[in-house]
Structure 1
Amino acid sequence: MRRVLVTGGGSGIGRGIARAFAEAGEAVTIVGRREEALSETDGGRGMQAVVCDITDEGAVEALFEAPYDVVVANAGTGRAAFLTEVSLEEWNETLAVNLTGTFLTFRAALRQMPEGGRLIAVASTQALRGGARVSAYSASKHGVLGLVRSVALEVARKGITCNAICPGFVDTPMADAAVQSVMASRGIDRAAAEKLIVASNPIGRMIAVEEVASAALYLASKGAAMVNGHAMSVSGGEI
Structure 2
Amino acid sequence: MIMSHGPLHGKHALVTGGGRGIGSAIAHALLLQDARVTLAGRTEAVLAKTASELATALANASGPADIDFVTIDVADRESVDLALAEAARRHGRIDILVNNAGQAASAPFGKTGSDIWRQMMAVNLDGTYHCIQAALPGMLAAGWGRIINIASTAGLTGYAYVSAYCAAKHGVIGLTRSLALELATKGITVNAVCPGYTETDIVRDAIANIMAKTGRSEEQARAELAAGNPQKQLIQPDQVADAVAWLCQPGAGAMTGQSLAVAGGEIM
The TM-score bracket by the shorter chain reads over 0.9
Matched, 1:77 2:103: yes
TM-score for the superposition, normalised by structure 2: 0.87
What is the DSSP-based 3-state SS (H/G/I as helix, E as strand, rest coil) of the residue aligned with 1:71? strand
- C-alpha deviations, 1:23-76, integer Å up to 9, x for none? 322110010000111112212524211111111111211233332110000100
Matched, 1:64 2:73: no
Assess if the C-alpha contact under 8 Å between 1:80 and 1:181 holds in 2. no
Q: CA RMSD in A?
A: 1.1
- C-alpha deviations, 1:50-109, integer Å up to 9, x for none? 111111111211233332110000100012221122221111011000000000111111
Matched, 1:123 2:132: no
Assess if the C-alpha contact under 8 Å between 1:79 and 1:178 holds in 2. no
Aligned amino acid, residue 161 of structure 2: R
Equivalent-residue separation in structure 1 for 2:111 and 2:213 (angstroms):
13
Equivalent-residue separation in structure 2 for 1:185 and 1:81 (angstroms):
12
Assess if the C-alpha contact under 8 Å between 2:180 and 2:257 holds in 1. yes
Q: Which residue of 1 aligns with 2:21?
A: 12
Matched, 1:110 2:136: yes
Matched, 1:48 2:74: no
- The structural deviation recorded for 1:125 is 0.2
Aligned amino acid, residue 78 of structure 2: G
Matched, 1:3 2:23: no
Assess if the C-alpha contact under 8 Å between 1:19 and 1:41 holds in 2. no
What is the DSSP-based 3-state SS (H/G/I as helix, E as strand, rest coil) of the residue aligned with 1:63? helix
- Deviates further, 202-211 or 57-66: 57-66
**Unmatched 5+ residue regions in structure 1?**
none
Matched, 1:228 2:228: no
**Unmatched 5+ residue regions in structure 2?**
1-9, 56-65
Assess if the C-alpha contact under 8 Å between 1:72 and 1:120 holds in 2. yes
Equivalent-residue separation in structure 1 for 2:97 and 2:106 (angstroms):
28
Q: Which residue of 2 aligns with 1:197?
A: 225
Equivalent-residue separation in structure 1 for 2:42 and 2:32 (angstroms):
23
- The structural deviation recorded for 1:167 is 0.4
Aligned amino acid, residue 260 of structure 2: M
Equivalent-residue separation in structure 1 for 2:21 and 2:67 (angstroms):
16
How does 1:153-164 map onto structure 2 within 5 Å? 153-164=181-192
What is the DSSP-based 3-state SS (H/G/I as helix, E as strand, rest coil) of the residue aligned with 2:184? helix
What is the DSSP-based 3-state SS (H/G/I as helix, E as strand, rest coil) of the residue aligned with 1:236? coil
Equivalent-residue separation in structure 2 for 1:126 and 1:19 (angstroms):
25
- C-alpha deviations, 1:134-193, integer Å up to 9, x for none? 111100000000000011011110010000000001101111011111111211100011
- The structural deviation recorded for 1:224 is 0.8
Q: Percent same amino acid at aligned positions? A: 41
Q: Which residue of 2 aligns with 1:206?
A: 234
Q: Which residue of 2 aligns with 1:132?
A: 160
Equivalent-residue separation in structure 2 for 1:23 and 1:41 (angstroms):
15
Aligned amino acid, residue 211 of structure 1: Q
What is the DSSP-based 3-state SS (H/G/I as helix, E as strand, rest coil) of the residue aligned with 1:94? helix
Q: How many residues align?
A: 239
Aligned amino acid, residue 254 of structure 2: M
Greater than 6 Å deviation, 4+ residue runs: none
Aligned amino acid, residue 68 of structure 2: Q
